């Protein structure tokens, strides 16, 4: 029993930050990402770490996390639309200082806003590929779709993201300077 706890703790410390990062990009909320990450790893603990081969554990946990996130996104879809509209109405009434803070926050979350514009399937596939460096076959196992769909989702996601990014750069040259600085 103690050995199980030690093994689980080791797996937890390895997977928890990666799950949180993936879920935060997928959902756009760090608190929600932490909740779902905890729930996914709790299910792994209840299932039993010794019941899975070690190399399968990561895919099992990401599959559970992705399914929980999918349920959460469906549930909150309407709420998020309303909140976005409200934020848009409130923006012209904010002071300069608040506006600067908001712009800084927007820049930091620019990537998330660009990712958010992608359909959920494309966003999930792209994040699993770029952040977790999973192969197309592994992504297909986690998401429960065919490899061909994963290929198409990743290509379309990248294309759409690229177009949105170019649009943002055209509309906001400061962002272009920032990205240019980071690239150099």
Partner 1 sequence: MNCEWMTKVSLLVDGELSTSESDQIRNHIALCQTCRETYDEFLKLREEIQDYPYQRDPLAQKRALNNILRIGNETVWRNRLALPTPVFALLILAAFLMGILTVSLLPGWFNDKEGTISISPTPNDKSITPLPITTDFSRFDRGERTLIYVVKKRAPVNSGGQR
Point out which residues bind partner 1 (CB under 8 A). Answer: 5, 8-9, 12-13, 16-17, 20-21, 24-25, 30, 34, 37-38, 41-42, 45-46, 108, 111-112, 115, 126-127, 129-131, 135-136, 151, 154-155, 158-159, 161-162, 165, 179, 182-183
CB nearer to partner 1: give 100 or 180. Answer: 180
**Concatenated DSSP letters of 38-104:** HHHHHHHHHH-GGGS-HHHHHHHHHHHHHHHHHHHHHHHHHHHHHHHHHHHHHGGGS-HHHHHHHHH
C-alpha 80: how far from chain center? 16
CB nearer to partner 1: give 25 or 72. Answer: 25
CB nearer to partner 1: give 94 or 109. Answer: 109
Place of tokens 């999973």: 134
Nearest distance from C-beta of residue 152 to partner 1, angstroms: 9
Q: How far apart are CA 183 and CA 170, in angstroms?
A: 18
Is there a contact between 163 and 155 (Cβ–Cβ < 8 Å)?
Answer: no
Nearest distance from C-beta of residue 155 to partner 1, angstroms: 4
CB nearer to partner 1: give 34 or 67. Answer: 34
CB nearer to partner 1: give 4 or 90. Answer: 4
Nearest distance from C-beta of residue 111 to partner 1, angstroms: 6
Nearest distance from C-beta of residue 12 to partner 1, angstroms: 5
Nearest distance from C-beta of residue 56 to partner 1, angstroms: 19
CB nearer to partner 1: give 20 or 80. Answer: 20
How open is the CA angle 123-129-134, to the nearest 5 degrees?
A: 135
Is there a contact between 114 and 164 (Cβ–Cβ < 8 Å)?
Answer: yes
Nearest distance from C-beta of residue 62 to partner 1, angstroms: 16
Q: How far apart are CA 22 and CA 97, in angstroms?
A: 32
């Amino acid at each position: 029993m103690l050995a199980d706890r030690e093994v689980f703790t080791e797996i937890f410390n390895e997977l928890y930050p990666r799950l949180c990062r993936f879920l935060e990009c997928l959902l756009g909320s760090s608190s929600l990402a932490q909740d779902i990450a905890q729930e996914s790893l709790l299910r792994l603990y209840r299932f039993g770490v010794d019941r899975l081969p070690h190399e399968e554990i990561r895919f099992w946990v990401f599959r559970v996390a992705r399914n929980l996130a999918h349920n959460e996104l469906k549930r909150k879809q309407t709420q998020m639309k309303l909140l976005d509209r409200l934020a848009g109405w409130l923006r012209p009434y904010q002071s300069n200082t608040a506006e600067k803070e908001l712009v800084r926050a927007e820049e930091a979350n620019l990537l998330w806003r660009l990712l958010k514009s992608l359909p959920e399937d494309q966003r999930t596939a792209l994040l699993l590929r770029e952040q977790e460096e999973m192969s197309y076959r592994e992504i297909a196992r986690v998401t429960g779709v065919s490899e061909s769909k994963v290929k198409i989702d990743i290509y379309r996601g990248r294309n759409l993201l690229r177009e949105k990014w170019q649009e943002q750069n055209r509309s906001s040259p400061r962002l272009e300077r920032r990205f240019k600085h980071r690239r150099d």
